[in-house]
Every structure is written in C-alpha cells, then in structure tokens.
C-alpha cells in the first residue's frame, strides 16, 4: 500500500495503554501511519521519538497539533477528565476520533459528541476492547451454539488491588477508580447478555473522604437473564471474571489472562461428576494459559484492542460507525455508570468500623 493511501494517526496522551497497546497496534496495521504524538510531559515525548524518530511532536495539554492538517484520525488516551474537550476539538477540526473509556464525564457530554460526530460527518468511537478478546469471543460462540444450554444467569466479579499500577488521577473522578474501570464490566455484560442491563438494586460501601468505594454491588436484568455485578477496590489480588451459568454448564472468562474456563453441569455432585468438572476446569485453564502465554511472549496479546482498531479503520473507510464501539454505545455505558452512582444505597464506614482492617 502506498504511503499516501494510509490514514495518518496522531496519539494524544502517552500513558501506559497508549504506548504499550495502541501505538504497537497502529504500527502493525498496514492501513495506518503513526504520524505524530502529543503529551504534556516532555520526557514521554522524548522516549518515543528516540524509538520512532520520524514522529511529529507537540508539547501540549490542549491537544494542539501544529502539523494537524496532515492527520486524519486521532487517538485520545488522556485521563477521562479531558476526553470531552479534546474530542470536541478534534471533531470540529475534521478528524476521526477513537477514545479510551470512559467516553466522557457525563451523559450530556456523550450526547453532545454524538451530535457533533453527525454534524461534522466524522466518526467518534470508544475503546471497548475486552468484548473482542479471544476468550470473550469463544464464550459468545459457545453461547450461540447452545453449548452452555439455556442461560440461567451471569455473575461478574472484579477485585482490584490498590497497590497495582494505577493512574495518578483516578481519585479525581466521581467514585474514583469505579468510574475509570466499570465501563469494561458494563459493556461486556451487555455484549454477552445480548441486551440492555436494567437496574434493579445496587449498594455502595465507602470510607470518608475517599472517592473510590470499598465495594460496589449491583443487581440487574438483561432481557430475561438475572445479572449480578460485584466490585471490590481493596482486595489483595487484581482479578476480573465473568461467569455465564447455563443449564448444561458454565463458562468463565478470566479477563486479565484472556482465558476461558469451562465446566459441565455436575448433576448429582457425586465423586465422578466432581472429578469431571475439576478435570474440565484444569484442562481448559491450562490450555488457555498456554495460548495466552504464547501470545504474550510474542507481543500479540492485545485483549481485543486489535479488533477495535480494525473496526475503526473499516468505519472510516465505510463512513459508518460499528455499533459496539460507537459514541452512542459509549454514551449508553456512561448512563449505566451514573445510574448506579445515583440510585445506589450508600453506606459510609466510620473509623471504628474500619479499624480492624487496617
């Protein structure tokens, strides 16, 4: 493909996700050309230009690109507080936009981006990547083929260790880390359940003067499927799992490892059924671990972000946004976040109630 036929991309925000996931994918895609980078930290720009000396650069907090006339698409990977202003600026400048989640800080901002994208005839898409991860696609295929039987319920569990690598800005968000991470759970639950989540009840437990809750739990219905979401932000491990329970068996997506574990219905739960289900668990986990490990060592484990970029490129070529990553979809997820924050029963632990856990 000729260089002039490729889509020139600029990356705004050079954090871990941009530099370790998105930029390698842009460089691998024959339809894309990494044209320039923008960040407010000169050391981040320096590190990338040492690797890729052809890059145009801009030291800016507002997404200024003096060379922007040569750019057709922009990845926005800054903190969510700046998403709306940057996306608005890029759309008005005639650029196609791909944004990290969450789309915006409010539903009104998301709706305005929908309107702007339509008015400017440009695409504005969101990185809802885990729904395209290898393990999630396998689970959806099993459901579609009836291998799990009738779907009886979905359980999602997120454990977050506060000691792991986290962005410096997350406590500035409403509900802190919940607002940054919950989009993954919400869009995956709706993708797997093939419908919209309907809020039934939810509870939030938090400490005084902390935006990030200790825990969040929510009860939903997706069509006729009961769904339960549990998130704990002070756990000793970081583990994200979604389990789909069917009449014939269960499928569990280990999101961080990109592994699908399956077990059959264990019937009367006798010794032979226990051994069968245990064997299925061990073999499917080991097989998934081997495949994900091989992809990781080869630098090819992208948790579905490669599918997002492929869809984004096709959207630009077809001038039509893919529903799974559209601004409308991003707005839907933002509405679910605010619904939980607004409607939950909230409990604050006092210092005495929490002292035994220090």
Statement to judge: residues 125 and 209 lie in one domain: no
Q: Which residues pair with 220 in a beta bridge?
A: 199, 227
Alpha carbon distance 11, 18 (integer Å): 8
Q: Do residue 145 and residue 125 come from a single domain? A: no
The model's pLDDT over 75-103, given as tens digits with 9 standing for 90+, comes to 999 999 999 999 999 999 999 999 999 99
What order of strands is seen across the sheet that includes strand 259-264? 259-264, 249-254, 239-246, 151-159, 225-232, 215-222, 197-206, 345-348
Q: Say if residues 135 and 260 touch (Cβ distance below 8 Å).
A: yes
Q: What are 261-312's pLDDT values in tens digits?
A: 999 999 999 999 899 999 999 999 999 999 999 998 988 899 999 999 999 9
- Let me know whether 170 and 274 are in one domain: yes
d(CA 37, CA 74): 10
In a shared domain, residues 248 and 168: yes
| Confidence (pLDDT) at 4 | 67
End-of-domain residue from the set 100, 129, 158: 129
Domains: count for the chain: 2
Pairing of strands 345-348, 197-206: parallel
102 found inside a domain = yes
For the stretch 123-165, pLDDT in tens is: 999 999 999 999 999 999 999 999 999 999 999 999 999 998 8
CATH of the domain at 123: 3.40.50.720
Q: Are residues 99 and 146 in the same domain?
A: no
User: How would residue 321 be classed by pLDDT, with cut points 50, 70 and 90?
Assistant: confident
By residue count, the chain amounts to: 358
Q: Do both 37 and 103 map to the same domain? A: yes
CATH number at residue 278: 3.30.360.10
- Residue-wise pLDDT for 158-184, tens only, equals 999 999 888 889 999 999 999 999 999
Domain boundary among 129, 160, 195: 129
From 81, 109, 129, give the residue that closes a domain.
129
User: How far does the chain reach from its first CA to its final CA, in angstroms?
Assistant: 59
In terms of domains, do 184 and 251 share one? yes
SS3 label, residue 307: helix
Domain encompassing residue 92? 3-129
Q: Are residues 11 and 92 in the same domain?
A: yes
């Amino acid at each position: 493909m000729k260089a002039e036929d490729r889509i020139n991309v600029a990356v705004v925000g050079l954090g871990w996700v941009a530099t370790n996931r998105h930029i390698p994918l842009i460089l691998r895609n024959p339809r894309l050309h990494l044209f320039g980078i923008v960040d407010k930290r000169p050391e981040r720009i320096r590190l990338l230009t040492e690797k890729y000396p052809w890059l145009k650069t801009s030291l800016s907090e507002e997404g200024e690109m003096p060379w922007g006339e040569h750019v057709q698409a922009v990845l926005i990977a800054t903190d969510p507080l700046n998403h709306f202003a940057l996306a608005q600026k890029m759309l008005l400048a005639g650029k196609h936009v791909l944004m990290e989640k969450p789309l915006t800080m409010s539903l009104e901002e998301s709706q305005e981006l929908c309107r702007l994208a339509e008015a400017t005839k440009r695409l504005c898409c969101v990185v809802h990547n885990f729904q395209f991860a290898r393990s999630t696609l396998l689970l959806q295929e099993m459901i579609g083929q009836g291998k799990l039987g009738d779907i009886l319920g979905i359980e999602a569990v997120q454990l977050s260790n506060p000691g792991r690598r986290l962005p410096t800005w997350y406590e500035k968000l409403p509900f802190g880390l919940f607002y940054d991470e919950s989009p993954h759970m919400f869009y995956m639950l709706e993708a797997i359940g093939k419908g919209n989540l309907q809020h039934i009840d939810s509870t939030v437990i938090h400490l005084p003067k902390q935006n990030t809750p200790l825990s969040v739990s929510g009860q939903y219905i997706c069509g006729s499927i009961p769904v339960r979401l549990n998130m704990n932000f002070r756990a000793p491990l970081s583990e994200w799992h979604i389990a789909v329970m069917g009449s014939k068996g269960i499928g569990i997506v280990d999101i961080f490892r990109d592994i699908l574990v399956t077990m059959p219905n264990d019937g009367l739960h006798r010794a032979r059924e226990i051994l069968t289900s245990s064997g299925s668990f061990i073999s499917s986990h080991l097989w998934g671990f081997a495949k994900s490990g091989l992809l990781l060592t080869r630098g090819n484990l992208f948790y579905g972000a490669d599918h997002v970029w492929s869809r984004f490129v096709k959207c630009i070529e077809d001038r039509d946004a893919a529903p799974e990553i559209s601004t409308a979809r991003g707005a839907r997820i933002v509405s679910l976040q605010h619904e939980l924050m607004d409607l939950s029963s909230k409990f604050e632990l006092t210092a005495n109630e929490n002292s035994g856990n220090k």
